[in-house]
Structure 1
Amino acid sequence: MKRIIVVLALAAGLFGCQNEKRDKSVASTEEIRIAEMADTVATEKIVKTADIRFRVKDVQQTKENLSKRIKAEGGTIAEFSTESIIQETQKVKLSADSLKEITAYRTEGYLVAKVPSERLDDFTNTIAKMALFVDRQSMKLDDQSLMYLANKLKADNREDAVSRINKLATKKSPNVETSLLIKDDYVDKKIQNLLIDSRVKYSTITLNFYQDNTIKTMTIANDNVYDYKPGFANRLWLSITNGWTIFKEIILGIANLWMLIIVGLALFFIIRYFVTKDKKARDLATKNWANNNQS
């Protein structure tokens, strides 16, 4: 019995050592694979971005020159816009129906372009030569090598996991849904690396450029209504004429109320009659009272 236990113990120890060696071997193989992939990726995935703000003589002309230069470098324009910002506006009267509008404005341009990364330095130097004055210039290098390596390793692991699951899965097995989720994540990692490759190959440069304040004059219609009114003499005569018209309208309005006028006059005379009669009665009473007192 003791011999059997000793034999089993020795067998377990030997099997454990073999498993440990196998795990170490797998781990070392994985480390070697990661190291080899890191050597091939680490120095290749540098994302460059640049930002420049500068003053130019003419915004529109600069935009056209930049477009030609970007195409010559093998790049593309991703976004472009211009804006005129009014600083001050004044209107000077030229005649009764026209004004001279004087406007001071500032024109600014905004351009985002993608150029080959190996040409970015030369392209920024070209822009600096085109500018009258450079306000700001910056460049940023973002190392995406480790992120790229991580995505690649995860994608390989997911591909291997999907192949193993597919070997064991059946149509009714829940592993099918798990396999689909892993495949979607695998696709996401691939897309992320494709985006990194695109950003590494083509650098993004943002350009903000502007020109000095510009003065522009133009003749416009007079929008002040008062200036279109007739002269004083004409307006005085029109006012007199209009007054006579209003007076006639008042007379006509009163004529339309003739019945009310008659009723009003009748009420006036009736009230006057009773007031006069009452006054006479009081005078007579006062006179009789005075005569009685004297007698």
Structure 2
Amino acid sequence: MLTLNYIDPIAFELGPISVRWYGIIIAAGILLGYFIAQASVKKIGYDQDTLVDIIFWSAIFGFIVARIYFVIFQWPYYIQNPIEIPMIWHGGIAIHGGLIGGFVTGIIICKQKNINPFQIGDVIAPSMILGQGIGRWGNFMNHEAHGGPISRSVLENLHIPNFIIDNMYIDGKYYQPTFLYESLWDILGFVILILLRKHLRVGDTFCLYLIWYSIGRFFVEGMRTDSLMLTSDIRVAQLMSIILILIGVIIMIIRRVKYRSPRYKDVGPLSWPNPKVK
């Protein structure tokens, strides 16, 4: 069966270099996230260069760790094909690895600049979840990260657009567009975080991001057919999602009970570490 709306993963070619939609969409998500976060940084009073440094270096090291993370959990393959380890253009990065790399890098920069990582986390969290929602469309363009087989009629009954249904027709079968489910969940999360942020305490928005994103990822991951597996029964992403939910809840409780963090909208730039507010 040929589909009229089939999307080529390659957007265009520059000589021997193939530029994929995946990379373009990821870059677009990062840029849009930056511009949204920039407006929030201005309101708080941080230097614009601070935001650029955090996003730029977190993105770079996030991608590196995302690749390393993926390779680790696919080690039986890569130990036999080590030359493919740096070939990121062949696919194979893990969002949770990117989050780990980005978080660690961001914390290091905050420490160097003597700024509060939770306050910056509140600024960037809505941008991050929006960027992740946009980035999932890169998986769509690559015809990857989908769920199990499903009939076209079910997809049509869900009122999923035809161009998505057509591109979920892979190797003679239709598949669940799990990228779409996660994308919509993330975009809804972006709206919620933006609406709630000014009413929350410093650090709460970032924690809610961890919780919201991880809840959605846990359930969507259960539908996917290409999950990284820790054991034959345990999906790595689901385990990481549970860990991040617990981290988000614990940090939120500690910062509210022990430190009594001020409200996001009531303070200017905070230093590292955040002093206890009486």
TM bracket (short chain): under 0.3
Specify which structure has the bigger relative contact order, considering alpha-carbon pairs within 8 angstroms and separated by 6 or more residues: 1
With normalisation by structure 2, the TM-score equals 0.23
